[in-house]
Structure 1
Amino acid sequence: MQLGATHMEGGRCEFLVWAPACREVSLHQVSPRERVLPMEPQGNGYWRIIGEEVPPGSRYFYHLDGERDRPDPVSNYQPQGVHGPSQVIDHRHFAWSDHGWRGCALADLVIYELHVGTFTPAGTFDAVIERLPGLRDLGITAIELMPVAQFPGERNWGYDGVQPFAVQHSYGGPEGLKRLVDACHQLGLAVVLDVVYNHLGPEGNYLWDFGPYFTDHYRTPWGEAINFDGPHSDEVRRYFLQNALHWFKNYHIDALRLDAVHAIYDFSAKTFLQEMAEQTREFSLGNQRSCLLIAESDLNDPRIIRPAELGGYGLDAQWSDDFHHALHALITGEDLGYYGDFGSTGDLVKSYREGFVYSWRYSAFRKCRHGASAADRPAQQFVVCSQNHDQVGNRMRGERLIAQAGFEAAKLAAAAVILSPFIPLLFMGEEYGEDNPFPYFVSFEDEDLIAGVRRGRKEEFEDFHSQGEPPDPQSPETFAAARLDWSKRDKPGYRAMAAFYRELLRLRRENPVLTRRDKEHLEGWGLEDEKLLWLRRWSGKDELWLLANFNNKEISCSFPGRGSAYRKLLDSADRQWQGPGTRLPDNIEGRCKLNLAPQSLAVYQMTD
């Protein structure tokens, strides 16, 4: 039996809820007519009823112990927000037009992360649809939606969601999300959805009223940990496993990005992540389409992405924070916090070669050894970026990389990511050089919670008081500042950046060396004093050299190529990309000296 409200033929609806903490549970239907119907215990803490005359769109609560109304933990829609009644949704009758869609191969993913509320002025799923053709033409193959599960208010990153099955009402609800996914598939774009299985938000979190969904054995940075391995954890796991399949089945989502799996505490012999990977594979086979699981993890543990037959959890891919940190530290020179563990060209070379930089190596930031080698894992199992919502938004003012390091550095970072053998992820707006910030924002109703969030942000950045106060997370102005300004795309510098990204993605898609997405046909060298990095990539007789200057001054070096003739494919310093101008030759024969512009990257291809 499916948890939640399952609409049936003849105007009937089955309701099933797990509420072992309750002595009695009733269905409180509030529309289209109001009534209270006692539910029958089913054993093991479950309560069930089949209601007559409950059409789609009916709204209801569960009435617990004759004392209080609560929304359905498996609500598919909360049209009045997290404190209001749940609404019955019938998923069977949406007019999908993606029947031939089979998903996107992992190695072909080029992911574009976006926040629905700030991606467009309207902040809705339907408004995102209008921008899809431009993303496809740029070379994007998948959009990644930051969490859309129902959160309090109308402004939030999404990680404060409290209704994991419900689609945010202010974005357009279930129908809006389905229209967006269907439109993506019609354009050949996959959809990745960010889901949170490590905690729930603080306001509107009513799961405590139903049963032991949480545990005090562990603690996350955001509150109570989910009970994945304690008493009653079988039913908690069932709840979240059904949630994962809910997105694949009812919304045709192609991949789930699993937020911070290092905060999913589970010491079971078969972990929740393993069980989810097994059920996802079964669903994929049964429905003849590819459904993927992509983890966010700071553990540097390759078991997450190793197949089960090799003792792994069997997830398909994971984000590589090490790649981002190595690249960011090289470009900006930052050394605060975890950036203090990075900063050498050798770190970035190692990440290109192995995925992780810290593979049981001492971390001064962590004050212990960290990670394990992932050298045996294929490149297509790592998602890399130069910026994302976390790395931008968790700064005090939410500054993007271009605001920190400048236009040339932003192009260098883009090339380092897109021309890698890994899965590139772009953060919305970076493709045209958006310089609006992406600060942290919320819209809670509880005054004590609002005060606590404001206080917490100030304490988090107490060492930065000389730079002023962090933006007020609750303020509508903070949210408004994060919106993309699409009018910038028509201005010269921004237009040149968009053209540069388009060319990078074309090379990645069409060049025979770059289409070979593996780490085995890649060599790298770093010159620390000069802050130069050389990468050689090859496929058969085809060979490319990527020459990256992370220095803020021009650097001369000998061309490292081994052949006799090379042709320049790209130079980020060229004036066509609004660069300072290049001194690199279009063609090279034999050994020669090259002058690389500050913070630039060039690509040469062997021609003989």
Structure 2
Amino acid sequence: MSITREIGAHYSPEKGTLFTVWAPAAEQVDVVLKDNDKIMPLQREAFGYWTGLSEVTGPGALYTFRLDGETERPDPASQHQPDGVHEPSAVVDHTAFAWTDKSWKPLPLEQYIIYELHVGTFSEEGTFQGVIDKLPDLVDLGITAIELMPVAQFPGSRNWGYDGVYPSAVQNSYGGPDGLKELVNACHAAGIAVVLDVVYNHLGPEGNYLNDFGPYFTDKYNTPWGKSLNFDDAHSDHVRNFFIQNALLWLRDYHIDALRLDAVHAILDTGAKHFLQELQEHVEHLEQQLGRHFILIAESDLNDVRVINPMEKGGYGLAAQWSDDFHHAVHALLTGEDSGYYSDFGKLEQLQKALQHGFVYDGLYSEHRKRTFGSDATANPARQFVVCSQNHDQVGNRMLGERLTQLVSDDLLKVAAGLVLLSPFTPMLFMGEEYGEENPFLYFVSHSDKDLVEAVRNGRKEEFSAFAWQGEAPDPQSEETFNKSKLQRSYEHSEKHRQLRDFYKALIKLRKSAPALARPDKTRLHVSADHHTQVLHLIHSGESPYLYTLFNISNQPQKIQLVKEVGADWELVLSSVESRYGGEGMELPQQVQAGQEIELPAASVTVFQSNTIM
């Protein structure tokens, strides 16, 4: 494990503030203290680090770094940008916050029911406090973990968060450092874990001054965002340190439980020890220091089990990764869409394979990619795959930001919910899906550079060219685009939306209470699919009572025969066609037997349980 060192401004009541910055090419670096216009020269140390202690500088003090007496910039490792990305950084005191979560016990990954949300659009206020105010609703729903889209400081006040340029500074318009701590405190008090989305594969363009300090980027690779961050070229040890320190900051000083690592396939590193493995090693070391468990979850489109395999098996050791194959299999099947990457999906057998093995493309030829793709994930535990039917990417990267609500019937929305929440994998919901939110989730920014705004507009149009979507893309820069993306919370006054939410609640309650789902085991899962009826049979036989779920994905009632080999007597426990869930109230048999023929309602989820299996 490499040696790391703290960077940025670190305050302690006993000593004052220690400033440290990496600027290997500079001949002189000073701290400019804005409150009293004092200039403090820093001392050069090994590998181009510059450091100095100010005993009189305390919390909230504004400062910049001045390079070679000329260029003045905010701190690359700033922990607070109170006036935005172009203005001075501020010193943060992590010793002063009154944490009340000492009794909090981090949840194991098997207990995560994740709710992904965007702070700016989740509540009318668009702040951390706005999220806190809505936590009782999430507790009522049964959520055990929230996943915050990135909160690192970005330009302006409207952004998804992936244009962040100060990875360690908490967005000022959301509530800054203390606002995030208040949210984590409140979540832990409510029994909810906090996952934070972090971006280590690129930084946004506006306010990105890293090149002024050192070789943070390399010409070795190109990415969709331009030059690649330097994870394996000359001086890369210190770039890796920059991001490792960021991860440790969130876990240690903000009490975050898990990090979701954005698009790790774009972290380009051909070194002997991949950055992800090194990051995992440092997180494990922090666990030993604090006596507390942390979780790293990757977003990866590689279908490569190396990301989640243990280090002793040649993997990077991360706890889990998002499963694109599961999402694409569900989406293409329910919507019939077949353009872009959905061209590789659309068959019921593919969903069956995803449920059984984790990946659909596990060494198969992908027509969309025009190459053989993926590795076999059969041996990996189900908890290692985070699955969903909607997320910010899959909704927000549609031209019109349509949710599944706009694309399929109300009955199929319940089928999608059942596929996610009754799967053996770690389930994730996207904010608003639990009641069928009808507002879109669009892409929005608030850049101040007109040329950059125009580039973003054109870039979005190019991105949509692979899909057969009709219409005109909304203007990302418009405040109206942002406001259209806010949740309406229609379940508070609409019976239809409340009934869908009640169905989600019932599914989540079943997932938590049924031993076969609370501790799901992919190896004790029976999955079969009938292409002619479009019915999927899903049997969890790991623990009693065993669960048998039938998904009718067709829009017609279907006569089917229950699997003969599994189960004896089955008892009905949940049906999506019950009138309390907005269904037609069709009568289903309360008791059925293995091998019995029954008729399933169109577009439905039906769950039976049994205490014995033959």
| TM-score by shorter chain over 0.5 | yes
Classify 1:583/1:556 alpha carbon distance in 2 versus 1 (closer, same or farther; 3 Å): farther
> 1:131 Cα shift?
1.0
Partner of 2:414: 411
Partner of 1:433: 436
The whole-number CA distance in structure 2 between the counterparts of 1:448 and 1:563 is 64
The whole-number CA distance in structure 1 between the counterparts of 2:92 and 2:466 is 49
Partner of 2:570: 566
Partner of 2:600: 596
Residue in structure 2 matching 1:184, options 184, 187, 196: 187
- Counting only pairs closer than 5 Å after superposition, residues 123-162 of structure 1 correspond to structure 2 as 123-162=126-165
> 1:52 Cα shift?
3.3
Partner of 1:13: 17
Percent identity between the two aligned chains? 53
The whole-number CA distance in structure 2 between the counterparts of 1:590 and 1:349 is 21
Residue in structure 1 matching 2:29, options 21, 25, 28: 25
- Counting only pairs closer than 5 Å after superposition, residues 49-448 of structure 1 correspond to structure 2 as 49-448=52-451
- Contact 2:20-2:52 at 8 Å conserved across structures: yes
Matched, 1:482 2:485: yes
- Contact 2:515-2:543 at 8 Å conserved across structures: no
Structure 2 residue matching 1:501: 3-state secondary structure: helix
> 1:607 Cα shift?
5.3
- Contact 2:147-2:197 at 8 Å conserved across structures: yes
> 1:43 Cα shift?
2.6
Structure 2 residue matching 1:318: 3-state secondary structure: strand
- Contact 2:332-2:338 at 8 Å conserved across structures: yes
Deviation readout 1:548-602 (Å, 9 max, x if unpaired): 1111222221222544421111111222110133242222246433222222111
The whole-number CA distance in structure 2 between the counterparts of 1:264 and 1:200 is 12
- Contact 2:403-2:440 at 8 Å conserved across structures: yes
Deviation readout 1:382-424 (Å, 9 max, x if unpaired): 1000000000000000000111112111110001100111110
Letter of the structure 1 residue corresponding to residue 131 of structure 2? V
The whole-number CA distance in structure 2 between the counterparts of 1:497 and 1:523 is 28
- Contact 2:526-2:541 at 8 Å conserved across structures: no
- Contact 1:5-1:88 at 8 Å conserved across structures: yes
> 1:10 Cα shift?
5.0
CA RMSD after TM alignment: 1.5
The whole-number CA distance in structure 1 between the counterparts of 2:453 and 2:593 is 65
The whole-number CA distance in structure 2 between the counterparts of 1:268 and 1:462 is 35
The whole-number CA distance in structure 2 between the counterparts of 1:144 and 1:131 is 14
Structure 2 residue matching 1:500: 3-state secondary structure: helix
> 1:490 Cα shift?
2.9
Matched, 1:587 2:587: no
Structure 1 residue matching 2:443: 3-state secondary structure: coil
Letter of the structure 1 residue corresponding to residue 60 of structure 2? G
Letter of the structure 2 residue corresponding to residue 579 of structure 1? G
- Counting only pairs closer than 5 Å after superposition, residues 436-515 of structure 1 correspond to structure 2 as 436-462=439-465, 467-515=470-518
Deviation readout 1:503-532 (Å, 9 max, x if unpaired): 000100111222231101101111112211
Partner of 2:546: 543
The whole-number CA distance in structure 2 between the counterparts of 1:342 and 1:467 is 21
Deviation readout 1:46-73 (Å, 9 max, x if unpaired): 1111123212110011111222210001
- Contact 2:491-2:501 at 8 Å conserved across structures: no
Unpaired runs of at least 5, structure 1: none
The whole-number CA distance in structure 1 between the counterparts of 2:333 and 2:28 is 60
Structure 1 residue matching 2:296: 3-state secondary structure: strand
> 1:426 Cα shift?
0.4
The whole-number CA distance in structure 2 between the counterparts of 1:244 and 1:254 is 11
Matched, 1:44 2:35: no
The whole-number CA distance in structure 1 between the counterparts of 2:249 and 2:459 is 34
Structure 1 residue matching 2:34: 3-state secondary structure: strand
Letter of the structure 2 residue corresponding to residue 542 of structure 1? P
The whole-number CA distance in structure 1 between the counterparts of 2:95 and 2:385 is 35
Structure 2 residue matching 1:130: 3-state secondary structure: helix
- Contact 1:384-1:423 at 8 Å conserved across structures: yes
- Contact 1:524-1:536 at 8 Å conserved across structures: yes
The whole-number CA distance in structure 1 between the counterparts of 2:411 and 2:543 is 33
Q: How many residues in Structure 1 have an aligned counterpart in Structure 2?
A: 607
Deviation readout 1:114-158 (Å, 9 max, x if unpaired): 000000000000111111122122111100000000000000000
Structure 1 residue matching 2:33: 3-state secondary structure: strand
Letter of the structure 1 residue corresponding to residue 496 of structure 2? G
The whole-number CA distance in structure 2 between the counterparts of 1:57 and 1:5 is 11
Classify 1:101/1:195 alpha carbon distance in 2 versus 1 (closer, same or farther; 3 Å): same
Structure 2 residue matching 1:101: 3-state secondary structure: coil
The whole-number CA distance in structure 2 between the counterparts of 1:606 and 1:93 is 54
- Contact 2:321-2:386 at 8 Å conserved across structures: yes
Structure 1 residue matching 2:516: 3-state secondary structure: coil
The whole-number CA distance in structure 1 between the counterparts of 2:316 and 2:44 is 35
The whole-number CA distance in structure 2 between the counterparts of 1:115 and 1:563 is 43
Letter of the structure 1 residue corresponding to residue 320 of structure 2? A
Letter of the structure 1 residue corresponding to residue 96 of structure 2? H
- Contact 2:528-2:537 at 8 Å conserved across structures: yes
With 457-466 and 87-96 compared, the bigger mean Cα shift is at: 457-466
Deviation readout 1:459-512 (Å, 9 max, x if unpaired): 323477972210100000000011001244331011101110110001001112
The whole-number CA distance in structure 2 between the counterparts of 1:295 and 1:597 is 38
The whole-number CA distance in structure 1 between the counterparts of 2:40 and 2:292 is 40
The whole-number CA distance in structure 1 between the counterparts of 2:523 and 2:178 is 45
- Contact 1:432-1:489 at 8 Å conserved across structures: no
Structure 2 residue matching 1:539: 3-state secondary structure: coil
- Contact 2:78-2:89 at 8 Å conserved across structures: yes
- Contact 1:11-1:55 at 8 Å conserved across structures: no
